[in-house]
């Protein structure tokens, strides 16, 4: 199976991901060796924390395209953003400052300590405004634990859910594994992605997630979460 990784932080000098151009290239090398053939670069969009990083992202993306063209001509690259929700972000979204996945989906995240009220307010605000949201690493928000009915309501209103590959790794805690099983049983997840930040601690690897999902669920689910679902999103289409 070839993977589509739709959430990574490989662009160097842009956010809390790759620090140098060499780091970026090593991450791409690791991702390609692992089986990824469609790669989305999704630097954080949160001007209140990272400042205006659009020019830096464009420059790093250009360098990455040149590297991939020389070494991996069959690797498809896409540039989007991961929106860190903040008060007033709807204006920036409306003015086109935040790049959409596939030109259609807002990849959106929150800090782990965000309250349920804040997450619910943000989701309602943007869904009601007609935006299509892909909620990043839905398993990481303590406020949403036990809120599967609320999450399911968001999916009925058009939201999609992404889970990080690390949740399926041998290093995942028992509590995380239990959380993932409950999520997959109760709500429709559209994609698994690496959310890679480096090659050691948060690597761009998806094969371990494929092995785990295949062993504990089935090969069809692994294919959907790691290939079919993400590839539809990159095309601006809903896989659900």
What pLDDT is stored for residue 170 in this prediction?
Answer: 79
Mean pLDDT of the chain: 95
Q: Is residue 208 a contact partner of residue 165, using CB atoms and an 8 Å limit?
A: yes
Domain ranges for the chain, please list them: 3-234
User: What kind of fold does domain 3-234 have according to CATH?
Assistant: TIM Barrel (3.20.20)
Over 90: is that where the pLDDT of 181 sits?
A: no
User: Given phi > 0 = left and psi -120 to 50 = alpha, else beta, which region is 134?
Assistant: beta
Where would I find the H helices in the chain?
21-34, 47-50, 54-71, 89-94, 116-128, 148-156, 174-186, 207-216, 219-223, 229-234
Model confidence over 132-178: pLDDT tens digits?
999 999 999 999 999 999 999 999 999 999 999 999 987 878 888 88
Model confidence over 71-107: pLDDT tens digits?
999 999 999 999 999 988 999 999 999 999 999 999 9
């Amino acid at each position: 199976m070839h993977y589509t990784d739709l959430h990574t932080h490989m662009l160097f000098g842009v956010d809390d991901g790759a620090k140098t151009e060499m780091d970026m290239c090593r991450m791409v090398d690791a991702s390609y060796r692992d089986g990824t053939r469609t790669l989305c670069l999704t630097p954080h969009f949160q001007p209140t924390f990272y400042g205006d990083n659009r020019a830096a992202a464009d420059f790093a993306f250009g360098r990455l395209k040149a590297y991939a063209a020389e070494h991996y001509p069959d690797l498809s690259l896409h540039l989007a953003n991961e929106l860190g929700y903040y008060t007033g972000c709807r204006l920036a979204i409306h003015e086109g400052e935040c790049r959409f996945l596939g030109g259609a989906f807002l990849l959106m995240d929150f800090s782990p300590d965000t309250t349920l009220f804040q997450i619910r307010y943000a989701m309602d605000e943007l869904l009601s405004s007609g935006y299509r949201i892909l909620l990043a690493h839905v398993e990481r928000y303590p406020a949403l634990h036990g809120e599967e009915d609320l999450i399911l309501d968001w999916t009925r209103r058009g939201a999609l859910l992404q889970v990080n590959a690390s949740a399926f790794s041998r290093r995942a805690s028992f509590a995380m594994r239990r959380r993932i099983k409950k999520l997959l049983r109760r709500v429709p997840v559209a994609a698994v992605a690496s959310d890679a930040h480096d090659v050691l601690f948060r690597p761009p690897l998806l094969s371990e997630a494929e092995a785990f999902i295949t062993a504990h669920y089935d090969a069809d689910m692994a294919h959907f979460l790691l290939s079919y679902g993400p590839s539809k999103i990159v095309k601006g289409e809903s896989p659900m």
